Structures are given as C-alpha cells and as structure tokens.
Amino acid sequence: MRIIHCADLHLDSGLQTHLSREKARIRRDELLSNFGRLADYASENGVEIVLIAGDLFDRDRVSALTGNMVLSVIAAHPGIRFYYLRGNHDKGDCLGRQTGGQSPDSKAGFPENLFLFGSRWKTYAEGKDGRIAIAGIELTRENSAAAHASLRLDPECFNIVMMHGQLYAGGGVSGHPDRPDGGLLQKGGSVGDPGNAGNAGTISLRALRGKEIDYLALGHIHRWKKDRLDGRGIYCYPGCLEGRGFDECGEHGFALLEIDEWNRLRSHRFIPFARRTLYDLEVDVSGCATTAGMTEKIKERIRREGCSAQDMADITLLGELDVECEKDTGYITSVLSGMFFFARLRDRTKLRIDTEAYLHDKSLRGEYVRKVLGDMSVPEEEKTEVIRLGFMAMDGEELQ
C-alpha cells in the first residue's frame, strides 16, 4: 500500500513579504492548486492514503475559495482516503465553516473519504486485513503530556502515529513549552512557524520510544527531517510542500511510503514536489573591477546551483572591491529579474582603500585621506570606513 505523508501546506498564506501584489497572487494560487496536484499525483501513482500532518491552512479562517477547493479535491478523489490532523495554525473549524452553510456542498457535509482527529487519541483501521492502524491526536499545550502517556498501540499492527508540534529534547514532556530555555530543537531556521510556535504542542521522542510506533508522521518543522525513533520505528517531518519565503529555501515535497503485503515498511522516500525553489546565495565578488565581471560571477554561481527561470533567488554580494571599481547594482538587479520569477539583490561588499597610494596624491582624494589619517578625533579602526564614505560622497553615490 502506498501512502503520502505531507504537512504544512499553509494554504491562504499572506505571502506579501517581498513579492509584488500580482506575483503574491500567482503564488497563492499555485500553493492552493498544489493540493489538487498532490491528489492527482496520488491517483496516478496508486497511492491509497494521504496523511496531512497539520497546518493544511495558514489560519483558522479560510477563504471560501480555499475551503471549497480542498473539499472538492477530496470529493473528486473517492479512491483516496485523506487523514487530516489540524496543527497550530489551523486549529479552528476551517472546513466546518465551509460546510456550515457557505459552501454549495454544505448539505453533503464532509466527503466520506475525509477522516479527522481531535484532542484525544483517535485510531482508524486501514489495509486489507485492518492491520494498519492510523492514530492521531491534535496537540495543545494542555494535552501534550497526557497525549504521550495515554498512547496505546497494538504491537501486532503496523502503527502510524500522526502529531503536529515542536520536538522537545528533554526527557518528559515540558509543561512549559514556551520557556526560552525549554530545550526545543531549533536548528538553523528549521522551525516551522516562529510566529505561532508558542501555540504548538511539544513532542518528546523519548516519551514515544518503545510504544510500538512504526511510523511517526509529524508536521510543523518546514524542512525535511527523517530519523530513527527507536528499534522499531522511524519519524519524519516532510517539511512544507512549497517554500514561501527565503527562510524556506531548498527542495520541498512530501514523503512517499510503501507498505508491503506483510505490513512492513518497504520504502520511505522524499518526493520533490514544489513548483518553484527558493535560493539564498552569497556570491563573493572580491577582485572584480566592473559590473560585467560581477554579473558573470553571479551567473556562474546560478548555473552551478542549477536554478531555473521558475525559481526565486535572494542574492547577496560579498567581498572587498577596489575603491576605483565600477559597480552598478541597478543593472545587476535587472539582469537577475530576467533570470528568475523573483530576485532580490543585496550588496554587502566593502571597498578596499589603499591609503598609502593616496598619501602623496595631489588630488582632492589625496587631501581628504591625509586629513582623515591625521585627525586624532577619528578612532584608528574607523578611518578606512570614513575614507570610504567620503569617496562615495565625492562620487555622488548614495551612502550605505
């Protein structure tokens, strides 16, 4: 049996951070249509079950378009069972609102192939012989500890457990998940949604070991993460389905599981699925004397990364440039705009000034360098920066 495990689709996200209103709209529509694309992938690839481990929606109140879209995609794929566990972002009755009278499908209610969870453990029997168990609980700060303690599974089954929340490194389950030193594993921006993290439940892997879990299907952290849980099972965060901002760079997709006829996990792999990849690239342009030279260095890097015109890039220029160098960041930005769906250029280069060369120069610059170097009121370590800014002012450039 094939199963998709996805999470953190965050449908109805704002997305205004860097994009123009028009492009933000395109992205929102792309994100929304990803749900249908995922369901189509599932039916084309013989997938019977789709696990959605929380944050399907970005907020409690979803637009009519989004609510109707999700329900109609589910209804249009009756051969697939959708197991939807709510996360900290979609705690509210997102879909209930749709079936509560606003939706044309309201009389039909939820599609029969949609299965939900609540704040207590709920277990569904799956598979030909009913020996695949799908258990899930919607975590809150209040029920986290009890959730871990009350999990009971049949060791004879293939046990899939769904949860949405932050990993807690400590032994038990923290009663204070908001404590800044609470031991939450926050590594390199891999945490799901800092804006709402305080509302997310905490998951203790240690407390889940030895509980006969075969596959722990998690959600909340927006980057792929897979590891052993214990001697029996593994755990996985599939990451968000599509990167939304530059804090969600790199490949995104879902997990595809295959369970064999003896109810054993035969394979578990990452399927890249995002339409666009986001890149955060730092390019060292030290030694370049011209805009053309810098542009070539950037292009070379983009080629090496394998970026496509569909992608989005945040490019930062680093390194030291000679004070006489010719650099036009406006030109570079327009070249980049033509190479990506969206590109942002940041200039963090420093100018290198050979003060010795100006010491005996009879120019305005020479005079300025001599003045700054002889000025006792300017701290020694700030002199190069003062000279750099002075040169820029002389060139009529915007000071930065």
Binding region for Mn ion (CB under 5 A) = 55, 87-88, 192, 220
Closer to Mn ion by Cβ: residue 82 or 237 = 237
CB of 7 to Mn ion, least distance (A): 8
CB of 97 to Mn ion, least distance (A): 20
Q: Rounded distance, CA 110 to CA 96, Å?
A: 8
CB atoms within 10 A of CB 18: 14
CB of 199 to Mn ion, least distance (A): 8
CB 241 within 8 A of CB 272: no
Copy the structure tokens of residue 197.
Answer: 């993290």
Q: Rounded distance, CA 4 to CA 268, Å?
A: 10
Closer to Mn ion by Cβ: residue 141 or 327 = 141
CB atoms within 10 A of CB 101: 8
Q: Rounded distance, CA 342 to CA 367, Å?
A: 44
Residues 6+ apart with CB under 8 A from 51: 3, 4, 5, 6, 83, 85, 134, 160, 162, 217
CA 163 to chain centre: 18
CB 221 within 8 A of CB 190: yes
Bridge partners of residue 236, in order along the sequence: 217, 226
CB of 226 to Mn ion, least distance (A): 18
CB of 166 to Mn ion, least distance (A): 8
CB of 12 to Mn ion, least distance (A): 14
Closer to Mn ion by Cβ: residue 147 or 353 = 147
Copy the structure tokens of residue 48.
Answer: 């019977």
Bridge partners of residue 347, in order along the sequence: 317
Q: 297, 374, 291: which is closest to 334 by C-alpha?
A: 291
Closer to Mn ion by Cβ: residue 77 or 89 = 89
Closer to Mn ion by Cβ: residue 188 or 338 = 188
Q: Rounded distance, CA 147 to CA 150, Å?
A: 5
CB of 63 to Mn ion, least distance (A): 19
Closer to Mn ion by Cβ: residue 58 or 311 = 58
Closer to Mn ion by Cβ: residue 177 or 192 = 192
